[in-house]
Structure 1
Amino acid sequence: MVKYLNIKNKWVAAIAIICFLTGGTHVFGQGRPNKFHIEGYSQGTTYQVTYYAVDSVITQKQTDSLLAQLDQSVSLYKPTSLICRFNLSAKGIVIDSHFKLLVKKALEINRATGGVVDITVKPLVDAWGFGVKKPKIFPNDAEVKSILKDVGSDKIWLKGNFLHKKTPGVQVDLNGIAQGYAADLLGNLCEQHHVYNYLAEIGGELRIKGHKPGGEQFKIGIEAIDGNDINPGPLRKIIEPGNGAVTTSGNYRKHLEAGGRQISHIMDPKTGYPTQNEMISVTVWAKDGITADGYDNGFIAMGLKKTLRFLNNRTDIGAYIIYKKPDGMVADTVTAGFKSHMKLQNE
């Protein structure tokens, strides 16, 4: 029997251990900036934008419309979306600019991670109970082997605006990268209206630029994890991201349980089985949300040693990692890119 724990709409971030802390209003630059806050519901989760400007130049109608456009492109929960149409097609379809950009970035990350990040895992996601429909039992070895025939980024390719598929059974899932991109879109909307001090958040994924009035930096809190990998504790770290994006992936909030065993929502596209290693959560900093979100699941799947090697001495992307040691104790580590951009400090 499969027991479903904390499984929400797939648009919800894989793990929400990030919160943001904003302060009051002061005077900086020209004029007297005010703090404006927009919040709403989109893509199966909440979103919010906090920005500082003289006037209210961004409205909720604009943010809702922007996110609805993305939803219509790549939401697996809208039967009329482009991604659902692609998944049901025999050979592929013409896609829009959002879909195309996400696919191109996902294929880039697939190559960089040696195939660990693969958007064609949707049949595996569905079979293991993390899709729209929930199966009563997990797949057996023969079923997994059969599903793998339609999994692999070599089975899709772009030619102009047409996304091709090798076989009708090939399906894509962009949930592992789309919310970071959505945070980017909200940030870009701010900048289109000449707002350069903002924090945009959707489903726990953040895009940040500038600072609060008076030069105070936006601060992000990262929760501690207890030894059961499931229940978050008090804030473990307080960080100052500066300009960039912060996303998180992990297993403690989004998993299944069967026979006393936790099943990760992150699939291994090579074996066809959920990943299982020492990783509990990874918080990633990058210059934009699409990059941070695109890599965070990959780092979970790669495991601690491979992730640390991948990020060694890199400053364009960094990670704060919480993991379980061989003796069962929970520990954490931080890479150079996270340190240099985040100004890490204890609470």
Structure 2
Amino acid sequence: MRNLLFFLPLLLIGAVVPKANPLRAFRIAGQAQGTTYQVTYYATDSMVTKGQIDSLLAVIDSSLSIYKNYSLISRFNQTTSVRMDAHMARVIEKSIETYRQTEGIFDITVQPLVQAWGFGPRKTDQLPDSATIAALKQCVDSRYLQVNGTQLTKTKPCVKIDVNGIAQGYSVDEVATFLEVHQLANYLVEIGGEIRIKGHRQPANEPMKIGIEAPGEDEFQLSLLQKIISLDKGAITTSGSYRKFYESGGKKISHIIDPRTGYSSQSELISVTVYAPDAITADAYDNALMVMGLQKAIAFVEARTDMAAYFIYRDRQGKISDTATSKFYTFTRER
């Protein structure tokens, strides 16, 4: 017993662990998918490079970009069938799931209508008339898509797809997954305003904060900071009629097309910000909620346990107002 007592202090001294180097921020920024991206992660040393992020995003573009003639989606739009890679297969699966969940409001076969209204890869000098819209609608319905293993086939030759309403969120998730493969537990990934977060700011271990944009008195003008939210995990995406539009004949035409009517969304909603566990989910539903309109969108989100949403809308008196689902208020913080 005396020997044990004698050696105890020596064992305790030997067990002292040197203090680890503090985590610090590493930031990567660049351009991809027609927009900018930013990645911030916290580590003791550089674990991920800009070249690796650029390479990953380029691979995704070669699968999903309608602006690349060589992409898998462009090839599918030019023919009747294509063998999908893993990126395209995951996005198509999620797109069809969202189509069903929204009863056709989210529909990636909307591409002919998007192009006709001037928001596609080709420039358009003339706006479509009602006859053109009616004809194009005959090509729009995700039920015209068939998936058999990795093979994607269309049952109508005129069907074309556009995954811009979901691909950016998917890209955010893929970058986040890449960071986690490198054992990074604290990070923020942002591509074109779509964001995914995990962990805290280091070395202070502070919550990460996100500012939500909102339009001014004119809903189509540049945005202002509206709310501050704080998260330790999950994704935030925003869709807004003020983000991409043009004027024609005194009317403002938004890029958010309702596939059921063939025309720009006419709801009272100006913007929708969605929280979900992953960015592909948040990105898929933000446009669909815009088309639904305020009351239906609130009911839709409240019925789900995996989502929350913040809405900016124009009320019956024409005043810009805001509201949110119950879960979203748990994220809000004072400025």
Q: Normalising by structure 1, what TM-score?
A: 0.89
Does residue 1:138 correspond to 2:127, yes or no? yes
Deviations 1:327-347 (A, max 9, x none): 11000001123223x2x1242
Distance 1:290 1:166, change over 3 A: same
Q: Deviations over 1:51-93 (max 9, x none)?
A: 000110101111011000000001111100000000000x211
Shift of 1:153: 0.6
Q: Counterparts in 2 of 1:87-102, with a 5 A limit? A: 87-89=77-79, 91-102=80-91
Pairwise mapping of residues 65-144 of structure 1 onto structure 2 (< 5 A)? 65-89=55-79, 91-144=80-133
Counterpart of 2:165 in structure 1 is 176
Per the TM alignment, residue 313 of structure 1 is displaced from its structure 2 partner at its CA by 5.2
Tell me the secondary structure at the aligned position of residue 85 of structure 1: helix
Give me the whole-angstrom Cα distance separating, in 1, the residues matched to 2:271 and 2:194: 14
Residue 272 of structure 1, CA deviation: 1.3
Q: Unaligned 5+ residue runs, structure 2?
A: 1-18
Q: Identify the residue that residue 263 of structure 1 maps to in structure 2.
A: 253
Structure 2 distance, partners of 1:295, 1:266, is 12
Q: Secondary structure at the match of 1:273?
A: coil
Q: What is the one-letter code of the residue matched to 1:139? A: P
Once the two structures are TM-superposed, the CA of residue 140 in structure 1 deviates from its matched residue by: 1.0
- Match of residue 24 from structure 1: none
Partner of 1:14: none
Letter in 2 for 1:243: K
Residues 47 and 201 in structure 1, CA contact (< 8 A), matched pair in contact too? yes
Question: Gaps (5+ residues) in structure 1?
Answer: 1-28
> Quick one: distance in 2 between partners of 1:30 and 1:319?
40
- In the alignment, is the contact (CA less than 8 A) between 2:268 and 2:293 conserved in 1? yes
Q: Give 2:333's aligned amino acid.
A: Q
Secondary structure of 1:163 counterpart: strand
Spell out structure 1 runs of 4+ moving beyond 6 A: none
One-letter amino acid of the structure 2 residue matched with residue 149 of structure 1: Q
Larger Rg: 2
Equivalent residue number for residue 11 of structure 1: none
Are 2:136 and 1:160 equivalent residues in the alignment?
no
Pairwise CA distance, 1:242: 2.1
Q: Is the 8 A contact 2:214 2:271 kept in 1?
A: no
Shift of 1:142: 1.0
Of 264, 282, 294, the residue aligned with 1:292 is 282
CA contact (8 A) 1:315 1:336 kept: no
- Distance in 2 (CA, whole Å) between partners of 1:82 and 1:234 is 38
TM-score, scaled relative to structure 2: 0.92
**1:240 Cα deviation after fit:** 0.4
Aligned to 2:16: none
Tell me the secondary structure at the aligned position of residue 66 of structure 2: coil
Deviation at 1:138, TM superposition (A): 1.2
Secondary structure of 2:118's counterpart equals coil
Deviation at 1:187, TM superposition (A): 0.7
Contact 1:155 1:166 (C-alpha < 8 Å) held by counterparts: yes
**How many pairs align?**
316
Q: 1:46 aligns with which of 33, 36, 46?
A: 36
Shift of the 247–154 alpha-carbon distance from structure 1 to 2, 3 Å rule, reads same
Q: Percent identity?
A: 48
Instruction: Tell whether the 8 Å contact from 2:239 to 2:287 is kept in structure 1 after alignment.
Output: yes
Residue 233 of structure 1 and its aligned partner are, at CA, apart by 5.0
Residues 316, 337 of structure 1: 8 Å contact kept:
no
Query: Contact 1:122 / 1:171 at 8 angstroms: preserved in 2?
Result: yes
The residue that corresponds to 2:179 in the other structure is: 190
Q: CA-atom RMSD, angstroms?
A: 1.3
Amino acid at match of 1:164: T
Deviations 1:99-120 (A, max 9, x none): 0100100110111111100000
Q: For 1:136 and 1:222, how far apart are their aligned partners in 2?
A: 34
